Chain A
């Protein structure tokens, strides 16, 4: 999918035609198959899709951290504030990570240092990135701990004294403390309880505004998207099959898969209503369907669908879709 060129300067992140495969002796996993993403300065993009859709792989490319040697970036560009990440030197990457881009990892790699207290580790990050005094930094670190749902008296404890979920929250606090230009949050709240999740999302929203942060929010939860995102890209089998503003996607969703996702959600407080699941399973990335990757599950499948990959079509200034049902206007055959 091609995204229209706006003023390049306004974009914090631009990913163009990215293709990433995991190649081993036995198989080729086609994880990312031509992804285009734009995140405008100060905006939050939600990247939504089910397991295996290629969300994490796409995100890792922004930090040039796609796992080697299997992970191969076969083509495409990743531009961070106009500069190509994929051609940065190791030194430039070091500087960029943490300062310009911070990532909350889906599986926290427990980047925490076992010999320092958690409060110390958050404060250190605040001191470096927000340029405040040590004293101020410690105070802010305690506030951050409270905000991620950990009593501030526990700031003097060491990582081994924390549960997995608490360590993840410390990871979140450290990433936020960097006040990066771009925050990549890969399913940051899935392990948290909803009341704690609500606290963390509020914290993320506040910091985003205060520090004019751009954000890539990876999630499969459309509720979280509605809460924090400005725009949404829906990923399926390593492609962005629909993209638009919140209104475009929530009120005028067009792709049969996007419609299916919404239909499959139980409504809160509504009982006995039959859900409308999408039939079938996510495709096998080592053996993707021909043509439109959604065609084996699609209720609207037509003769052309297995034959050719639908092109990206713009339905409005902000809304585009990859599906043979749509033409380059607002009209559709649905």
Chain B
């Protein structure tokens, strides 16, 4: 247990919107061990970004707790939180809009160092920036260039260097390669893995791309409309997905091969609204296996096999799984 770096317990983030209460994240719990990577997947709007931001308290969670390195960070005051945040960084999806267009690469990377007054000496600070640029594979000649002069891959490298500037222990990567071409995407993924190995970093890796997440993660969390509906070690999840939504999600990925193509499990209909959701299974209206109970009760999360959690009425009704 001592190896746990992050413990998220019953985390909720609700937004008040004109039509009611929007349940962006609705009671999510998980643990993350040091040096491991947790992948979070799910469809657009299921709450992935909100979880990441709530863990870092970039949005204030509605309730729940986030215990980082033994400290309940939701109890920290502003100043303590600012200190804590050095250990916890975020890499954004859109490498363009997340960078200040009026700052050069050097200025962008050194900004957090200056704000934290970590290296007061300008020469030493510049050395640190050069070191960071080298780590992420940015050529020295680029020091004085601006974001718009660079391609998406290089911009994302700046985002990574900036996140590394404070020597964090933990980085939340929110769709870090989604905006990039495959050849550039692979360069960035390899870089992020190398850095993790060398610095012993712990990652939360948010993406809607299951191939990327499977390549990267130890454990995977599948979200649906604010709820955690399945969690398992990566291999287990791909070999034996238990939730009907996870099964559909896996089978919907277009696989880049022409032989042994998997059978498609198609869903129908739209994702239901996250506003004032009823206490029923939120997937029921699209589920191919829905039973009467699914529209009456919300299924709880149960451990179907060791380390494999799922929230579905089909699973664990006495006789284990009713499908394989």
Residue numbers of A with Cβ under 8 A of B are: 50-51, 146, 149-151, 165, 193-199, 201-202, 220-227, 246-247, 250-251, 260-279, 281-282
Q: Which residue of B lies closest to A284 (CB)?
A: B151
Q: B104 contacts the other chain (Cβ, under 8 Å)?
A: no
Q: With A50-B183, A261-B183, A269-B214 as known contacts, state yes or no: A281 contacts B153, CB within 8 Å.
A: yes
Contacting residues of chain B (27-53) with chain A, CB-CB under 8 angstroms? 43-44
Q: B98 contacts the other chain (Cβ, under 8 Å)?
A: no
Residue numbers of B with Cβ under 8 A of A are: 43-44, 151, 153, 181-187, 189-190, 193, 208, 210-212, 214-218, 234-235, 238-239, 248-258, 261, 264, 266-271
Taking a contact as CB atoms under 8 Å apart, the answer to whether B266 and A275 are in contact is no
Q: Which residue of A lies closest to B256 (CB)?
A: A222
Taking a contact as CB atoms under 8 Å apart, the answer to whether B186 and A275 are in contact is yes
Taking a contact as CB atoms under 8 Å apart, the answer to whether B214 and A265 are in contact is no
How many Å lie between the Cα of A69 and that of B164 in the bound state? Answer: 46
How far does the Cβ of B319 sit from chain A's closest Cβ, in whole Å?
28
Taking a contact as CB atoms under 8 Å apart, the answer to whether B269 and A268 are in contact is no
Contact residues in A for B250 (Cβ distance below 8 Å): 268
How many Å lie between the Cα of A30 and that of B300 in the bound state? Answer: 58
How far does the Cβ of B107 sit from chain A's closest Cβ, in whole Å?
23
How many Å lie between the Cα of A151 and that of B271 in the bound state? Answer: 10
Q: With A199-B267, A261-B182 as known contacts, state yes or no: A223 contacts B189, CB within 8 Å.
A: no
How far does the Cβ of A273 sit from chain B's closest Cβ, in whole Å?
7
Instruction: Name the residue among A202, A225, A226, A279 with the largest chain B CB count within 10 angstroms.
Output: A226
Taking a contact as CB atoms under 8 Å apart, the answer to whether A221 and B235 are in contact is no
Contact residues in A for B235 (Cβ distance below 8 Å): 269, 271
How many Å lie between the Cα of A235 and that of B186 in the bound state? Answer: 19
Contact residues in A for B208 (Cβ distance below 8 Å): 193-194
Taking a contact as CB atoms under 8 Å apart, the answer to whether B214 and A271 are in contact is yes
Out of B183, B248, B251, B252, which one reaches A264, CB within 8 Å?
Answer: B183
Taking a contact as CB atoms under 8 Å apart, the answer to whether A193 and B210 are in contact is no
Taking a contact as CB atoms under 8 Å apart, the answer to whether B269 and A151 are in contact is yes
Taking a contact as CB atoms under 8 Å apart, the answer to whether A264 and B182 are in contact is yes
Q: Which residue of A lies closest to B217 (CB)?
A: A271
Taking a contact as CB atoms under 8 Å apart, the answer to whether A226 and B261 are in contact is yes
Contact residues in B for A195 (Cβ distance below 8 Å): 43, 248-249, 252, 266-267
How many Å lie between the Cα of A186 and that of B87 in the bound state? Answer: 42
Instruction: Name the residue among A193, A197, A274, A282 with the largest chain B CB count within 10 angstroms.
Output: A193
How many Å lie between the Cα of A234 and that of B256 in the bound state? Answer: 14
Taking a contact as CB atoms under 8 Å apart, the answer to whether B268 and A226 are in contact is no
Taking a contact as CB atoms under 8 Å apart, the answer to whether A226 and B190 are in contact is no
Out of B151, B185, B238, B270, which one reaches A149, CB within 8 Å?
Answer: B270
Taking a contact as CB atoms under 8 Å apart, the answer to whether B181 and A220 are in contact is yes
Taking a contact as CB atoms under 8 Å apart, the answer to whether B43 and A224 are in contact is no
How many Å lie between the Cα of A149 and that of B218 in the bound state? Answer: 32
Pairs of residues from A and B, 6 with the lowest C-beta to C-beta distance, nearest first: A223-B254, A277-B186, A266-B215, A269-B238, A222-B256, A264-B186
How many Å lie between the Cα of A289 and that of B91 in the bound state? Answer: 33
How many Å lie between the Cα of A268 and that of B238 in the bound state? Answer: 8
Out of A223, A261, A271, which one reaches B253, CB within 8 Å?
Answer: A223
How many Å lie between the Cα of A225 and that of B214 in the bound state? Answer: 21
Contact residues in A for B261 (Cβ distance below 8 Å): 226-227
Contact residues in B for A50 (Cβ distance below 8 Å): 181-184
Q: A264-B182, A264-B185, A281-B153 are in contact. List 10 more A-B contacts (CB 8 A).
A: A150-B270, A194-B210, A195-B252, A195-B267, A197-B254, A266-B214, A269-B235, A277-B190, A278-B183, A281-B151
Taking a contact as CB atoms under 8 Å apart, the answer to whether A266 and B189 are in contact is yes
Contact residues in B for A151 (Cβ distance below 8 Å): 269-270
Contact residues in A for B267 (Cβ distance below 8 Å): 195, 198-199
Q: Which residue of B lies closest to A49 (CB)?
A: B181
Taking a contact as CB atoms under 8 Å apart, the answer to whether A247 and B258 are in contact is yes
